[in-house]
A and B are shown apart, each in its own frame.
Chain A
Amino acid sequence: MHVPDGFIDAPISAATGVVAAAAVAVSLRGARRELDERTAPLAGLVAAFIFAVQMLNFPVAAGTSGHLLGGALAAILVGPYTGVLCVSVVLLMQGILFADGGLTALGVNITDMAVVTTVVAYAVFRGLVKVLPRGRGAITAASFVAAVLSVPAAAVAFTLIYAVGGTTDVSIGKVATAMIGVHVLIGIGEATITALTVGAVVAVRPDLVYGARGLRQKLKLRVGGELVDVPDTAPVAAARSHRKVWITGLVASLVLAGFVSFYASASPDGLEKVAADQGIDAKTEQHASADSPLADYGVKDVEDARLSGGLAGVIGVGVTVVAGTGVFWAVRRRRTADVSPASTSGV
């Protein structure tokens, strides 16, 4: 989905540039707060990892393969701030070193692929982890849902950018249908790989999964020969009110997931066709295939236009709800940070 120059007009490119710069600035602060002087080496190495893992081919069938985009994975493994930084740096370097993605489209690319993907994935992930029962299974499941939503969310963001700044008047409905339809498919692949990878890391070094910190077993005290929990210092009320937020997020995600699957089962023809297009495309230019918007006009044949349009709406609303929940949660968290350091401590 690396957007080239000239795809989005100059004013909107500049505007997204500002958005991207602001997001990177916020992330720089956030990352430094979390990692202090370890930021540069750790974020650099994680960026190198994302860069490398994008080259890891996941065979789909008969010679075609896809690869990871990595936004959701980065968000879950190293947190939203560092995640945004890593993916942004990868995009910047791809633009400058490999001419992959236009220089004037950097703002669009970063906003879309680094910011939206990472933030949505992280918000969904944290929301689910909070409401699901503790355990590795929950983390894997949450990673799956987070990644499966993050990719179409980026498609929605792209469609919105295109709606205001696209240089061709292809109808927004068509762009949305094509982008979102294809990215739901890509999202499923991305989600499977992300969930498996996070699962693999959690199994070996759970402490390295940023999104799962605070979930580690509590310290025990031995009192009179029996193990007891260390008393919680955080007020219980705060924890309970958090729960409501998480449940809202979860319900939104579930509704979303339901619609997605409904869509998937309702129009198998269109999806198969996209898959076929993807396949041909993947053979010629493997790396660009999984995320290029071209494949995707196959979906324009989806018979029920209302259905696909509706889907776009639902995803849009869902993303808004999730992002809003995320913001709300971030604010809440900051406010309660001093009261409950236990939930955020640890490296």
Chain B
Amino acid sequence: MGAGHAHRLYRHGHSPVHALPPHTKLAAVFAFVVVVVSTPREAMWAFGLYAVLLGVVAYVARVPARFLLKRLLIEVPFVAFAVLMPFVAEGERVEVLGMSLSVSGLWGAWNVLAKGTLGVAASVLLASTTELRELLLGLQRLKLPPLLVQIASFMIRYGDVITDEMRRMRIARESRGFEASGVRHWGVLAKSAGALFIRSYERGERVHLAMVSRGYAGSMPVIDEVTASRAQWSYALALPVTALVVCVVGWTL
């Protein structure tokens, strides 16, 4: 995560995908990824079809390919890992361009690359078409424990506030001529982190007071409920269902 990251993935828009209720999208993406992960890696064509499916969703959602590809960079460490696999894995080996590579390692690399990339792409599509607030409502609707949703929503609400505080502390350090450049400066940075914790915790206590003052007694009042029509559900689930068909064909072929 980089600073100021909190809303970067969301792209405002009015596409049909944006308009879908958040819980249908969450369910669809999750089901899609499950299907992808359960697909046998030998069915290479299936992964191609999955990619096409996601491409269609991206097109309908008007998410530009460039944006999507850029976000896939988060995967880079694992790509590097996958590249290493053929060299270190066990078993039967083949010669490729004068290098001895493990066959199962090659399969493993392909497996991780294909599934990981599809997973990231699906998540990016979800995050870029759904507002933060909506995602939380969706999680709530999908029966995530309410307390967990509350914690997540407080985290989202105060993430920026605390990141800002951290930035101000850094500016304060730097304006006094302090520039952290090595291990010997960790003490100062850790003191900032400690101070940040104390501030966060105390803010938590003050927020609690403010909540209690407005009648909070342990459970959040439900203000917004998201609902989905049958049509919206079937629209959203078209993605994982199509993927499932591909998957089943992949297993039987």
Contacts and interface: CB of A to CB of B under 8 A. Distances in A.
Contacts of A5: 33, 36-37, 115-116, 118-120
A24 B3 CA distance: 28
Interface stretch (A282-290, A317-325, A329-337): A282-290
Interface string B182-193: 110111011111
A65 to B, nearest CB: 9
A56 B195 CA distance: 13
Interface in A75-113: 77-78, 85-86, 88-90, 92-100, 102-105
Interface string B87-119: 011110000000000001101110110111011
B85 A168 contact: yes
Interface string B166-205: 1000000000000011110111011111111110110111
For the complex, would chain B's binding face be called helix, strand, loop or mixed by DSSP majority?
Answer: helix
Interface residues of B, number: 99
Interface in A46-69: 46-49, 51-61, 68
Contacts, number: 296
Interface residues of A, number: 87
A294 B80 CA distance: 7
Nearest to A166: B108
Interface in A1-32: 4-7, 9-10, 13, 24-25, 28, 31-32
A5 B46 CA distance: 16
Contacts of B76: 284-285, 288
Interface in B188-242: 189-198, 200-201, 203-205, 207-208, 211-212, 216-218, 220
A197 B197 contact: yes
A34 interface: no
A47 B155 contact: yes
A45 B182 contact: no
B194 A52 contact: no
A49 B71 contact: no
Contacts of A90: 155
A86 B201 CA distance: 13
A96 B155 contact: no
28 contacts: A6-B36, A6-B111, A6-B118, A32-B147, A37-B218, A42-B204, A45-B203, A46-B200, A52-B162, A55-B1, A56-B193, A58-B186, A61-B182, A97-B127, A97-B132, A99-B74, A99-B127, A168-B108, A170-B105, A197-B191, A197-B193, A200-B191, A200-B195, A204-B195, A208-B198, A285-B77, A288-B76, A297-B88
